[in-house]
Amino acid sequence: MKILVCISHVPDTTSKINFVENNTKFDTAGVQFIIGPYDDYALARAIELKETLSATVTVLNVGLAETEPTIRKALAIGADDAIRVNAVPTDSFFVATQIAEHAKGYDLILMGRESIDYNSGVVHSMVGELLGLPSVSPVMKLDLEGTTVKMQREIEGGKESLEATLPLIAGCQEPIAEWKIPNMRGIMSARTKPLTVVDPKAVDAPVNFQKYELPPPKGAVKMISEDNVAELVTLLKNEAKVL
Amino acid sequence: MAILVFVESADGKIKKTSLEAVAYAHAMGDKVTAIALGTIDKAELTAVGKYGASKVLTVSDERLNQGVIRAYAAVLAQAIQAESADTLVLANSSLGTPVAASVAVKIGASLASNVVGLPDTSSGFVVKQSIYTGKAFAMVEMKNQKKVIGIKKNAVELKEVGGDATVSDFTANLTDADFGTKITATEKATGDILLPEAEIVVSGGRGMKGPEHWGILEDLAKTLGAATGCSKPVSDIGWRPHHEHVGQTGVKVAPQLYIAVGISGAIQHLAGVNSSKYIVVINKDPEAPFFKAADYGIVGDAFTVVPKLTDAIKASK
Ligand SMILES: Cc1cc2nc3c(=O)[nH]c(=O)nc-3n(C[C@H](O)[C@H](O)[C@H](O)COP(=O)(O)OP(=O)(O)OC[C@H]3O[C@@H](n4cnc5c(N)ncnc54)[C@H](O)[C@@H]3O)c2cc1C
Ligand SMILES: Nc1ncnc2c1ncn2[C@@H]1O[C@H](COP(=O)(O)O)[C@@H](O)[C@H]1O
């Protein structure tokens, strides 16, 4: 059983978002990069499956050399080896094309439900279409019974149970597994685990991110005394006009 | 060129977010055809015309009563061709988003998700997309002739612009491979207002002290016709169901009004609520970071302030 986990390398969830070069580039100054939180769930579930089945776990990232500490962290958490497609992940279709190039031969391809930078939640579905495989997201529970995959997917206000057969792609979210923290032995062994760097496949970019902007700053908060709650209701009615 | 709009339904009714997608397509200025999959009441279908669709296609295939992503994508790709459409518009949702991605690959389209405004066509075709969980926007040029646009809730205002749409059947060729996933059960909170689509949300955090205290939030929500949400620790410890957890790793809401009670306002929580139009924060700590992101704030104990607020709203009706 071969499992592929696709990880994005994204700003830590507490990062302040800023742009430079006339708002055309993300400002990385002082930003800590992490494995995408949803991808971390995918990885954790892959490691759990590896512990119960005889499986190997490969991690894949599309990114430049700066993502290697993030990839090494995934190896420290328990992945066996890694592939880095040496390219800037310019857009979802580009990333999906690179993943599809390397995903053949894997039984289970796990991703996060969405990356936390562009939040598109589309790469898994694109890879599914490129490979002609079913893709399910956001998956909150995933179990294997032979080649049958039993899953639970979150839908608006509820959940859906699904079944499919391997090979399959799933975009994961909690509570599929608990995030894993690397231990000392993991960190030591990660240094020597194989990390293969490959060149990207050329793609005609369907989109171009031209410029970025930040939302307008929020106005000052209006404080209301707890003894005068009726005033809040009046403001919501007459000023905000939301009641 | 024509625009095709995929409209989703829930409990036999077309979703409001899908009507927004129709309104968005209408505002783009081209002929709009909507398409609905599965069994939906005819009156619901003709009413889509009010928001600008002249025609609605229905595909009655029992297998489509459930949202199977690749099958839906196959139908939409065929309808795009049959209608000679070059653009597909739909609402981003747990179904719409993956379907959009699948269709885009099938037809070789440029894809944009979480779009918050109408395209700027002064030079190329550029849309504004919400990124970094609402913390920023990107101007995205869609370069291919074919385009798939997923729109974020509240991106357009719903206005009635037309009359009834004509309804016609559409037949799609589907193979077993399109139904690679089988839905075996669906658990859905019916009757309740769904959190991702609610106009008002009342959310509670760890400051509520325990699940037994949610009654006062539910009363407030009921009085307002609101959905209830919570912070991540609250669903982690099982006080509330997982699908109510709002934030970076949970549901992203975009209501007219978000009322946060006993939530500190951690940046990961704010990431899920920063598209709200107005935010009210109730917290006993005047230093709680959430006040900085709020429009209105009350410093006080939730257990006294919330019932007072519910009463004040009732009194004002
Ligand atoms: C990678 C990552 C992702 C995360 N994703 C999310 C996410 O999606 N959503 C999310 O919510 N969190 C998320 N978190 C957790 C987040 O960092 C905070 O820990 C969490 O939001 C805090 O929840 P809280 O405000 O309910 O609890 P607390 O921080 O404990 O705050 C409780 C608040 O209640 C107030 N309070 C106490 N008693 C009362 C009372 N009687 N009346 C009124 N107020 C009272 C207190 O003053 C305090 O401000 C994430 C964390 C990480 C690391
Ligand atoms: N650069 C990348 N390299 C590898 N996997 C990625 C990359 N970007 C996104 N992914 C995967 O695709 C999922 C969905 O991403 P997105 O469609 O961008 O929201 C993520 O959760 C990752 O698992």
The DSSP code for B295 is S
Pairwise CB contact (< 8 Å): A236 & B105: no
pLDDT at B190: 57
Contacts of B184 in chain A (CB under 8 A): 161-163
Taking the CA of residue B169 and the nearest CA in chain A, the distance in Å comes to 26
Q: If we measure between CA atoms, which residue out of A11, A96, A15, A12 comes closest to residue A62?
A: A96
Q: What percentage of residues in chain A have a pLDDT greater than 90?
A: 88
pLDDT at B156: 86
Closest chain A residue to B256 measured between Cα atoms? Answer: A242
For B267-312, the pLDDT digits (tens) are 999 999 988 999 999 999 999 999 999 999 999 999 999 999 999 9
For B163-196, the pLDDT digits (tens) are 899 999 999 999 988 898 988 888 876 556 788 8
- Number of Cβ within 10 Å of residue B127's Cβ equals 26
Question: What string of H, E and C letters represents the secondary structure of A174-207?
Answer: CCCCCCCCCCHHHHHHHCCCCEEEECCCCCCCCE
Contacts of B186 in chain A (CB under 8 A): 155, 158-161
Q: Are A31 and A23 within 8 A, CB to CB?
A: no
Residue B131 has pLDDT above 80, yes or no: yes
What is the spatial distance between Cα A59 and Cα A198, in angstroms, rounded to a whole number? Answer: 13
Averaged pLDDT for residues A1-12: 96
Residue A58 has pLDDT above 70, yes or no: yes
Pairs of residues, one from chain A and one from chain B, whose beta carbons lie less than 8 Å apart = 256
What is the spatial distance between Cα A138 and Cα A120, in angstroms, rounded to a whole number? Answer: 12
Q: Which of A126-140, B200-214, B242-256 has the lowest mean pLDDT?
A: B242-256
Look at ligand 2, atom 7, and give the residue with the nearest C-alpha. A8
- Alpha carbon distance, N-terminus to C-terminus of chain A: 56
Q: Tokens for B283?
A: 């917290």
The overall average pLDDT reported for chain A is: 94
Pairwise CB contact (< 8 Å): A236 & B95: no
Residue A60 has pLDDT above 70, yes or no: yes
The overall average pLDDT reported for chain B is: 93
What is the spatial distance between Cα B31 and Cα B1, in angstroms, rounded to a whole number? Answer: 7
Residue A234 has pLDDT above 60, yes or no: yes
Window 266-285 of B: residues touching A by CB (8 A cutoff) are 267-268, 271, 274, 277-278, 280-281
Pairwise CB contact (< 8 Å): B187 & A159: yes
Pairwise CB contact (< 8 Å): A207 & B187: no
Look at ligand 2, atom 12, and give the residue with the nearest C-alpha. A123
Whether this model's ipTM surpasses 0.85 comes out as yes
pLDDT at A43: 98
Length of chain A: 243
Tell me which ligand sits closest to the C-alpha of residue B264: 1
pLDDT at A219: 86
Dihedral angle, C-alpha A218, A219, A225, A231, nearest 10 °: -100
CATH fold label, B2-179: Rossmann fold (3.40.50)
Q: Span B195-316: which CATH code?
A: 3.40.50.1220
Q: Is the pTM for the entire model greater than 0.90?
A: yes
For A93-151, the pLDDT digits (tens) are 999 999 999 999 999 999 999 998 887 899 999 999 999 999 999 999 999 999 999 99
What is the spatial distance between Cα B281 and Cα B284, in angstroms, rounded to a whole number? Answer: 10
Instruction: Name which of A155, A211, A215 is nearest B139 (Cβ-Cβ).
Output: A211
Taking the CA of residue B6 and the nearest CA in chain A, the distance in Å comes to 17
Taking the Cβ of residue A174 and every Cβ of chain B, the question of whether any pair is shorter than 8 Å is answered with: yes
Residue A42's pLDDT band, with cuts at 50, 70 and 90, is: very high
| Region(s) of chain B under CATH 3.40.50.620 | 2-179
Helix (H) / strand (E) containing B43: helix B42-46
Q: If we measure between CA atoms, which residue out of A3, A37, A8 comes closest to residue A149?
A: A3
Site of tokens 């069994």: B39
Domains defined for chain A, CATH in brackets: 2-218 (3.40.50.620)
| Region(s) of chain B under CATH 3.40.50.1220 | 195-316
For B49-79, the pLDDT digits (tens) are 999 999 999 998 888 888 889 999 999 999 9
Residue A13's pLDDT band, with cuts at 50, 70 and 90, is: confident
